[in-house]
Structure 1
Amino acid sequence: MNLLDFTYSGATLRALGGGSRSDLENMNRVVSAHQLHPVIDRVFPFDEALDAAAYLGSGAHFGKVVITH
């Protein structure tokens, strides 16, 4: 699979709203106060982004799948 295959695969991208600014500020206070950290399952370099998408799509992950640059 190359980038063109992924781009023209019929996938639909949608923007999602996340709530109000005060909700975000409250969430950040809780995360900070309780020293919460996300569970990161696996980190992929940017040039392996298609592999990361395939891994995420497989459902084998537990936690976040991260792509770095």
Structure 2
Amino acid sequence: MINPLIEKEIFTQLNKLSDEQQQQVLDFARFLAMKNPVGVPGKELLQFAGTISHEDAKIMLEAIEEGCGQVDLNEW
């Protein structure tokens, strides 16, 4: 059942978005509605444990800290 207040707010926000952004919202809503999301069980990923070198892991960690720690309030 749809909460009328949430539905109204969703429509209000959707009206502010471009067609592309609206499609992203639709894609995300469809993903959330899936009973069994597509993915890989963690057990299958264990084969990759330890395959990244310490140097590569350090480079990735630095890139994440540098790029993901910033917020652009004017992005949307």
TM-score tier (shorter) = under 0.3
More strand by share: 1
Q: Which has the larger radius of gyration?
A: 2
**Structure with larger RCO (C-alpha < 8 A, sep 6+):** 1
More helix by share: 2
